[in-house]
Amino acid sequence: MKLLNKLICTILATALCFCAVGCEGAVNTANSTKTNGFKLHMIDVGQGDSLLLECDGSYMLVDAGETDKGNKVVEYLKSQNVSKLSYAVITHPHSDHFGGMKKVLQSIPTDNIVMTEAYHTTRAWESLIDYIDKENFNVVFPKTNDVFNVGSCQVNVYSPDIDNDNKNNCSLVLRAVYDNMAVLLTGDAEESEENKILENGFNVQADVLKLGHHGSSTSTSSKFLEKVNPSLALISCGKNNDYGHPHKETISKLKKYNIPAMRTDLDKTVVVSLCNNKITTLANGKEQTISKSGGANTSLSSETNSADSSQHRYIGNKNSRVFHLSNCKSINKMSDKNKVYFDNREQAAESGYSPCGDCKP
Ligand SMILES: [Zn+2]
Ligand SMILES: [Zn+2]
């Protein structure tokens, strides 16, 4: 514990030094020119998660599977000509997510590590933290609504409260928006984290949803699924895994909502391309076009550079605790980090916000 505490303190100190640099560095990558759209690769790592976001020649890796899958992830990255990762994200301290990350960091130059502040006392976790610390990586502990740019794709991160009793619910949740389309990656978030995300007014609408916790019945509540309203569900899990993932309740829920699913246990590695309002998948050499469901309307306001403001009718100011209509003049003056989004007046009122006297929401 002593060693771990020391490491955590060092990591926190490193993060404080580098956070601003890390975030600004991210903004600079947006200068690259738009080329071949946006791709999400769900790499088959058996029972675990490893997802690669690719846009305009920039890359973000989200998790890297179990320790024995590190080589496989590295090989895959090399096969895709990934010479550098702008970001390596570690969603939470479970080995089916972080296990292979050390191998990746040893093999592929990485600009920034984005991770949760949750910790674990396993040897594998301590060894990874030790390595990150020793090699002086830029470490970013994101705050909710922090935006990272992967080429012209904007990635919003939802950073939950740390609950070390349930590490799944410490999962960083990422919503990547590109060309009016969005994908949502929820790590191993279970229903209670999903509920918190909804309560906090975080925009979850997405065309593609990587289901939480490998399709477990403890994740992907109906309420959450309805809000996300995806046209395609992705499930990362091992063939005949010990946990029975994905659970049959989750599969029947997807059927009920008529959402097609692709899974690594059946389809192996799946590559999803989002371009011109079209979703195409490639798995086992077979290409498919997925028809978009009507509700996943994820228009992005480029003028305000805010991925969320155009989708919520009400925006609150965390400082003044006042909420506004999304077209109120005062929104322009509000800094992004103070914004909180509501779908309706009730939600704003329940969160303790009062209506603006000007726009009278
Ligand atoms: Zn997991
Ligand atoms: Zn987990």
Q: Which two tokens stand for residue 329?
A: 């003049």
Q: To 10 degrees, the CA torsion angle through 289, 290, 291, 294? A: -150
50-95 tens-digit pLDDT: 999 999 999 999 999 999 999 999 999 999 999 999 999 999 999 9
Cis peptide before 142 (omega within 30 of 0): no
Superfamily of domain 2-290: Ribonuclease Z/Hydroxyacylglutathione hydrolase-like (3.60.15.10)
Instruction: Tell me the chain's radius of gyration from C-alpha atoms.
Output: 20
pLDDT of residue 7 exceeding 80, the answer is: no
Q: 49 CA distance to ligand 2 centroid (A)? A: 9
- The pair of structure tokens assigned to 211 is 């289901």
The number of residues making up the chain comes to: 361
For residues 188-209, average pLDDT: 96
Residue 96 CA: which ligand is closest? 1
User: In a 3-state reduction of DSSP, which class is residue 4?
Assistant: helix
- Report how far apart, in Å, the C-alpha atoms of 50 and of each of 6, 35, 73, 296 are: 29, 24, 8, 24
Q: 232 CA distance to ligand 2 centroid (A)?
A: 22
Give the whole-angstrom CA distance, residue 230 versus residue 163.
Answer: 28
> Is 182 in contact with 296 (CB distance < 8 Å)?
yes
Q: Which ligand is nearest to the CA of 214?
A: 1
Expressed in angstroms and rounded, the spacing between residue 208 Cα and the centre of ligand 1 is 19
For residue 87 the two structure tokens come to 């970001």
**99 contacts 73 by C-beta, under 8 angstroms:** no
- The model's confidence at residue 293, banded by pLDDT at 50, 70 and 90, is low
Domain boundaries, the chain: 2-290, 314-355
- In whole angstroms, give the CA distance from residue 263 to residue 209: 12
Closest ligand to C-alpha of residue 189 is 2
Q: How far is the CA of 129 from the centre of ligand 2 (A)?
A: 17
Give me the amino acid identity at 263: R
The number of the ligand nearest the C-alpha atom of 47 reads 1
Dist. CA 168 → ligand 2 center (Å): 4
Taking the CA of 65 as reference, the closest ligand is 1
- CA angle at residue 75 from 174 to 209, to 5 degrees? 25
Gap between the Cα atoms of 187 and 95, Å rounded: 12
Closest ligand to Cα 241: 1
Q: What is the pLDDT of residue 181?
A: 94
Rounded to a whole number, what is the distance in angstroms from the first to the last CA of the chain?
51
Paired tokens of 306: 């805010």
Backbone phi, psi, residue 14, to 5°: -60, -40
**Cβ(249)–Cβ(220) below 8 Å:** no
Indicate whether 162 pLDDT > 90: no
pLDDT > 90: what percent of the chain?
65
C-alpha of residue 236 to centroid of ligand 1, in Å: 9
Task: Give the Å distance between the CA of 269 and the centre of ligand 1.
Answer: 17
Q: What band does 311 get if pLDDT is binned at 50, 70 and 90?
A: low
Nearest-ligand number for the alpha carbon of 48: 1
Predicted confidence (pLDDT) per residue in 233-275, tens digit: 999 999 999 999 999 999 999 999 999 999 999 999 999 999 8
Determine the distance separating the centroid of ligand 2 and the alpha carbon of 171, expressed in angstroms.
Answer: 8
Helix axes 123-134, 2-28, angle to 10 degrees: 50
What is the CA(281)–ligand 1 centre distance, in A?
Answer: 23
3-state secondary structure of 258: coil
**Residue 60 alpha carbon to ligand 2 centre in Å:** 20
Residues, beta carbon < 5 Å, ion ligand 2: 94, 168, 188
**CA 163, CA 324: separation in Å to the nearest integer?**
32
Q: In what order do the strands lie in the sheet with 208-210?
A: 146-150, 153-158, 173-178, 181-185, 208-210, 232-235, 261-263
Mean pLDDT, to the nearest integer, of 132-155? Answer: 95
**Digit-coded pLDDT (tens) for 104-135:** 999 999 999 999 989 898 999 999 999 999 99
Distance 351 CA to ligand 1 centre (A): 31
Strand order in the sheet with 314-317: 339-342, 314-317, 322-325, 354-355
Distance of CA 355 to the CA centre of its chain: 31
